[in-house]
Amino acid sequence: MTFASRMSRVTVSPTLKVSAEADRLRRTGVDVVDLGAGEPDFPTPEHVKAAAHAALDSNFTKYTPSAGILELRDAVAQRYRMDYGVDVKPEEVIITAGAKQALYNAAMVLYEQGDEVITHGPFWPSIVDQIKLADARPVVVQTHMEDGFAIKAASFIEAMTPRTKAIVINSPCNPTGALMTEAEMALLADAAAARGIWIVLDFTYEKLIYEPVPHNLVKILFERMRDKTVVCNAASKAYAMTGWRCGWAIGPKDMIAQCNVVQGHSTSNINSLTQKAAIAALTGPQDSVTMMLNEYRKRRDAVHGWLTADPRFVCVKPGGAFYLFPRTLQPDDVAFVRELQAELILTVPGVGFGRRGHLRISYCVEDETIERALPGFERVAKRYRK
Ligand SMILES: Cc1ncc(COP(=O)(O)O)c(C=O)c1O
């Protein structure tokens, strides 16, 4: 069969592949230890579910405006006012099916053939594949384990050319957990603003930052280049709402209107009940976010602790998100991940994130699951000479 040429440039998301494998094994009755999935194991908070029940009971089940209901766009704007001290208007917000669609809309609206779009590696794969789907060329600047995978402005500035259309920053980063500092973002924003380059900020893990470090990247961007800033985010990770599919993009009014044109011709509005639930999540009590963060911190420390007790597992302690990205004990990360899989432990090979010789471990699983993984890791590690 012949498909459009763009399809030859993209691949299936490696994390979705692992989820499918976990599902397949579970269906055959195998009890896997799934450290591959990138989603909270906590249930969605009760008050959020109650808002969806109430919406259903009141028959809020029809089309809504494609960009999302005003009340929700207002709730997003309000959240950013409270969290980051920035003034956002509802017409600068579009509600999308997760952060993924927010980023995809931005790619469709901003990038085209001949454009270069710079991002940092190791990367969340959809960032790069969406650039390719928009017919542009991804330029990946590498971050390094030796300095905690720090996201540095200088590497982007060096990679800029007259063809550079945009820069995509993911902070906290999936898979490394690294945060971009405010100082680095200020340097990058000044350089991008001077050249008319867009910055797309993937802020999906913004609420999952373990130490109280300043991370107001939104304000820094808005102060320097508001007319070329897009912030993409979602309720998915912060509120344990991955399946509900609620994200948003915040950008200049005209750009958001263009996103709405793309969305209006593809998916239209996200699920109406989800929109009501998301309002409850954004405007309601935030203590569940703190509770989950505290749990993830404990798990991060536990897994990082037992992993690095074997000094051969070189691994940065991440500042955010819920992943560890250690070096594998052999250069072939796919083979190493297969060895773990034979022990019924599912992880994702680094190659899927553009970095061989690493693997990604999600620690958003119950303590008991973490404990079950340890013996399998030890058995695999024993096969390698010290
Ligand atoms: C860095 C990053 N951006 C965006 C997304 C997409 O999130 P959503 O489920 O809200 O579409 C993910 C999901 O794993 C992610 O890791």
What are the tens digits of pLDDT across the range 156-207?
999 999 999 999 999 999 999 999 999 999 999 999 999 999 999 999 999 9
Taking each helix axis from N to C terminus, what angle separates 367-382 and 333-342, rounded to the nearest 10 degrees? Answer: 120
Strand partners, 168: 119, 200
Atom number, ligand 1, closest to the C-alpha of residue 38: 14
Q: Is 276 in the pocket of ligand 1 (CB under 6 A)?
A: no
For ligand 1, what atom is nearest to the CA of residue 246? 10
40: Cβ below 6 Å to ligand 1?
Answer: no
Calculate how far, in angstroms, residue 204's C-alpha sits from the geometric centre of ligand 1.
6
Task: Report the run of H or E that residue 348 belongs to, with start and end.
Answer: strand 348-349
CB-CB contact of 81 with 131 (8 Å): no
Question: Distance (Å, rounded) from C-alpha 110 to C-alpha 168?
Answer: 12
Pick the closest to residue 140 from 131, 257, 148, 174 (CA basis). Answer: 131
Is the CB–ligand 1 distance for residue 174 below 6 Å? Answer: yes
Nearest to 100 by CA among 36, 160, 38: 38
Residue 210 CA to residue 252 CA, distance in Å, equals: 31
Asked whether 323 lines ligand 1 (CB < 6 A), one says: no
User: Would you say the CB of residue 229 lies under 6 angstroms from ligand 1?
Assistant: no
pLDDT in tens, 11-60: 877 677 777 877 888 888 888 999 998 899 999 999 999 999 999 999 99
Which residue among 124, 173, 201 is best mutated to probe the pocket of ligand 1, counting the most ligand atoms within 8 A of its Cβ?
Answer: 124
Indicate if ligand 1 lies below 6 Å from the C-beta of 204: yes
The set of residues, in sequence order, having a beta carbon less than 8 Å from that of 157 and lying 6+ positions away, is 187, 188, 191
Q: Report how far residue 381's alpha carbon sits from residue 118's, in angstroms, rounded to the nearest whole number.
A: 36
d(CA 97, ligand 1 centre) in Å: 10
Q: Is 206 touching ligand 1 by the criterion CB < 6 Å? A: no
Prediction pTM value: 0.96
* Whether residue 233 has its Cβ less than 6 Å from ligand 1: no
Scan for tokens 């800029």, then name that residue.
160
Q: Is the CB of 32 under 6 A from ligand 1?
A: no
Nearest to 202 by CA among 103, 122, 120, 80: 103
Q: What's the CA-to-centroid distance between 36 and ligand 1, angstroms?
A: 14
Residue whose Cα lies nearest atom 16 of ligand 1: it is: 174
Q: Is 326 in the pocket of ligand 1 (CB under 6 A)?
A: no
Angle between helices 182-195 and 217-225 (to 10 degrees): 20
Burial (CB < 10 A; 0-12, 13-18, 19+), residue 43, is exposed
**What is the torsion angle, in degrees rounded to the nearest 10, for the CA atoms of residue 47, residue 234, residue 286 and residue 365?**
80
Asked if 204 contacts 248 with a C-beta cutoff of 8 angstroms, the reply is no
The answer, yes or no, to whether any atom of ligand 1 lies below 6 A from the CB of 247, is yes
Q: Which phi and psi angles does 65 have, rounded to 5°?
A: -55, 145
Q: What is the pLDDT of residue 11?
A: 84
Residue 316 CB partners (closer than 8 Å, separation 6+): 145, 148, 149, 176, 177, 178, 324, 325
- pLDDT profile of the chain (386 residues), mean per 10: 90 75 84 91 97 98 98 98 98 98 98 98 97 98 97 98 98 98 98 98 98 97 98 98 98 98 98 98 98 97 94 95 97 94 94 96 92 92 86
Atom of ligand 1 nearest to the CA of 102: 11
Q: Is the beta carbon of 242 within 6 A of some atom in ligand 1?
A: yes
pLDDT at position 12 is 79
Atom number of ligand 1 nearest to Cα 97? 11
92, 221 Cβ separation under 8 angstroms = no
